[in-house]
Each structure stands twice: as structure tokens, then as C-alpha cells.
Structure 1
Amino acid sequence: MGSEIRESRKSSLLGSLAGWLMRLWCMTLRFELVDRCGLGERDKLKGPVIYGLWHNRIFVVPAAWRKLCGKWRKAVVLTSASHDGATLARAVGVFGLGSVRGSSSRRGVAALVALRKTLRDGTDCCVTPDGPRGPRYVLQAGLVKLAEASGAPVIPIHVEFTRAWQLGSWDRFRLPVPFSKVRVIFDEALAVPGRLGEDEFETWRSRIEDRLRSGVEDFNEAT
């Protein structure tokens, strides 16, 4: 069925291996963490939050999150219901992150409900709003719906590389060159109001999209 969660022994094993490779890879990097929202201060940011970042920046974010606030905050990552999503779920699990399976193309409503429950339970959620299939750097509506329904603020995450390889995937995935410097910015929180009208919803969708696009150098190449 098209709505089922897909997982296999192979995808689970590959995910665990990928997660440990990510950890070892990130240990070679020189991180600069910029905390504009107070995540790194244990008593400053109360309540759960929604992290938003572009799909092609995700490689270093679990390690950066763990360094900044992983000792006292819990978080889950939204991954697709496909085998690739299972691999990613296992990979981020190596960093102590949980996962919710689903996407705009498969199990979208069920995933939104699960994410709302996660936020009610006090756990942060991470969403790549142009995933799992793009278009690149176009923010889909799910993140705004989640923020509107839950009342949790959105924290845009930007990743800047001094040196990185660009893959040929749809998102032009970035892999930082080992021993290079990476700057990860946890931006100021955006509080999305509840009960938005159609025009207001689009205004907020565009506002968050623009904020995320401001942290990348190549979004004009997305078309």
C-alpha cells in the first residue's frame, strides 16, 4: 500500500553505519555554533520548538544540535516513509535523535498528528520543508501547519561551509570536506499565530521560506 511505512534489515543496517560515519566525519570538522535563539542556555527557551532547515544541509546538523543542546533537550526528525527515510531515521538515532515517519507524499496527515503529539509531550521536532523530493528551497505547507496548530515557535537553521562537495542529487546535497570549518546558525525563533486565514498562511509560508533562503548562497539556481 502507498501509505505504509517501509523498512528493511538492509536499510536499518545502512542507516546505523551511515550514522556512525557521520559522527566520525563530523569529529574532523571545526564547528562554529551561532545561537541566536537561546537554545544553548538551558533555562532561556522554554517549551518545545520546531527546527526548519533545507534538505541538503542536514548532514552536520545532528552533530551541531548535540553539541549545543543535546544534553538537555529531546528532538525527533521527520523522515519519509520510504526505505531512504528508514535509513535516515537510523542515522540520526546515532546522535540521540528520534524520528517520525511520513512526508507530504506518503502518510502526511498521520505524520502531522504524530508531530503535534510529540510537541505536546515537550519534545522538539525537526523538519526539512523542501523534502523528501523537492523542489529545492521551496517551503512546503506542512511546517507552517504544524507551527500554526501546535503554537511551537519555528527556529530556522542555516549551515555555511568553507569547503564542501556538492552531490548530483535533486537537492544538491552538501558534504563538508573533512577538517574544514562549518558554521551552524540557530536563528531567532518565529512565532506563527494560530487560526491563520488563507492570505495570512501564505504570508507566513513565504516569510519562513525567505528566512531559510537567506542562509544559502545558491537558491536562485533552484529553478
Structure 2
Amino acid sequence: MSKGSDIRGTWKQRLAGKVVTVLIRLLGLTLRCRLEDPHGIRQLAQPGVPVIWIFWHNCLIAAPLNKVKFSGRAPASALASASKDGAVIESVVSSFGVKTVRGSSSRRGVAALIALKKALKAGEQLFVTPDGPRGPRYHLQPGIVKLAQSSGAPILPVRFTFSSCWRLKSWDRFRIPKPFSSITIHLDQKIDIPSKLDENTFESHRRKVEDTLRQGVDDLPEQEPVS
């Protein structure tokens, strides 16, 4: 398969995405979802206001289900990897009204960064999983900080907690909420990244964003017993 067709996705991958979407929507009908927004971040999610929403990769079911609840209906784009999995994700998020930019740190990274900056400049919201597409789990890649630094758009961390869920044995411990359980969406205070940073200060801001998004996480890799 050529790189171009891999990025666009095959009809099988698009079909798989549609099937996954139906399953997610059916599951969503059974869930109780509650928004916690102590800092009034939801008010920033207005059409024409560029912001960067971030959440961990293992919350890729909870996020699209609750998109309207925490980010409204403003035009939005999401970053998905230039892989077969990315093609399925692209199909899923498009069903929730979100466009897709394909790329990652290992493939089409520069092109993806340019496309994301263009989307922000056009006033779109962005949705990014900063530990994707292959981890390490809960490690915030520096690209998201560079994007906020160069664009001036604030980073808005979104955390999801589940009353009950299945955790897959994948690299990200992907979470599937159990039917009739509840999800709480936590909106943390926005984080602005200065345009000029030296190496040490850049890493300090990266860690600040990472630590904010790690709050409440109960399965950090460094806390797991060594086998």
C-alpha cells in the first residue's frame, strides 16, 4: 500500500470506523456524563476562538461522546496518526463533526504541524492526544507545547474519570466505560505557553502541562510493579 493510500485509509478502515461509531453512540445512550468546570473554561470554546484541547489517548471513547458538552459546536480538527489505526480514528471523529489532520512525530510530523497551525489561524479548535499514537503512556510529547508556543493558542487540559470501565492490555491501557456507568469530565485551568523559551524553561512548561493532565490518574507507568 502506498503512503498516500495509507493516509487516506481504505474502504475497510472507513467502514470499521463507522461500525465503531455506532457502537460508541449506543454505549453513550447508557452513560451518565457530568461536567466539572470550576475555572469557566467552557466559556472559551466559542466559534472563531482557537484553543488546543488535550486528553490522554486512552480516553478516545469518552472525548467524542462528550465533545459538545465540553467544547460546544465550534469548528474543530483532531490529530490522528498516519497509520491504519489513524484511518479508523479519522472515520470515527468525522462522524462526530470533527475534521482530521493526519501525522505524528514519526510520520508526516512537519506537515501535520503546519496543518494544525493553519487550522488554529482559521479560528478552529484542536483536539490532540499528546501521548499518542504509540506512547509512552501519559508522557506528554513536546510537539503540543511547540504548537501552543508558535501559535499563541492556549492549551486546555481535559481529564475523564470513570466510575467503572474495562482497561485493555494495550500500550495506553485503553478505557471502555461499562454500560450504565458514569463519566466525569474535568476541565482544568488553561495553560498559556510563552513564545520565547530556552531549553530548560520549555521543559518546565512541558512538565507543567503533563502534570496537570496526570492529576487523578491511577495507573501511571512508574507506579506499576517491576516484573
Shorter-normalised TM-score: what interval? over 0.9
Residue deviations 1:84-126 (CA, integer Å, cap 9, x gap): 1010011011111111100111101110000000000000111
Q: 1:5 to 1:162 in 2, by over 3 A?
A: same
Partner of 1:176: 177
Structure 2 Cα separation of the partners of residues 43 and 92 of structure 1:
18
When normalised by structure 1's length, the TM-score is: 0.92
- Single out whichever of 115-124 and 53-62 deviates more from structure 2: 53-62
Letter in 2 for 1:86: A
Letter in 2 for 1:90: S
Give unpaired runs (5+ residues) of structure 2: none
Structure 2 Cα separation of the partners of residues 69 and 133 of structure 1:
26
- 1:55 maps onto 2:57 in alignment: yes
Structure 1 position 65, deviation (Å): 1.6
Provide the secondary structure at the position in 2 that maps to 1:118: helix
Letter in 2 for 1:202: E
Partner of 1:77: 78
Structure 1 Cα separation of the partners of residues 19 and 125 of structure 2:
25
When normalised by structure 2's length, the TM-score is: 0.91
Residue deviations 1:158-207 (CA, integer Å, cap 9, x gap): 01011000101111001110110110112111011102111111111111
Q: 1:149 to 1:10 in 2, by over 3 A?
A: same
Structure 1 position 46, deviation (Å): 7.3
Residue deviations 1:6-42 (CA, integer Å, cap 9, x gap): 5111001101111222122112100011124534337
Residue deviations 1:34-78 (CA, integer Å, cap 9, x gap): 12453433787972110111111121111212233333x121110
Structure 1 Cα separation of the partners of residues 39 and 193 of structure 2:
15
Q: 1:23 to 1:99 in 2, by over 3 A?
A: same
- 1:212 maps onto 2:199 in alignment: no
Q: 1:57 to 1:43 in 2, by over 3 A?
A: closer
Letter in 2 for 1:95: F
Aligned length: 222
Q: 1:153 to 1:60 in 2, by over 3 A?
A: same
Percent identical residues: 46
Structure 2 Cα separation of the partners of residues 89 and 43 of structure 1:
22
Provide the secondary structure at the position in 1 that maps to 2:101: strand
Structure 2 Cα separation of the partners of residues 127 and 43 of structure 1:
15
Q: 1:146 to 1:20 in 2, by over 3 A?
A: same
Give the aligned CA root-mean-square deviation in angstroms: 2.1
Provide the secondary structure at the position in 2 that maps to 1:113: helix
Equivalent pair of 2:82/2:102 in contact (CA under 8 Å): yes
Partner of 2:22: 20
Structure 1 Cα separation of the partners of residues 24 and 58 of structure 2:
14
Provide the secondary structure at the position in 2 that maps to 1:90: helix
Partner of 1:41: 43
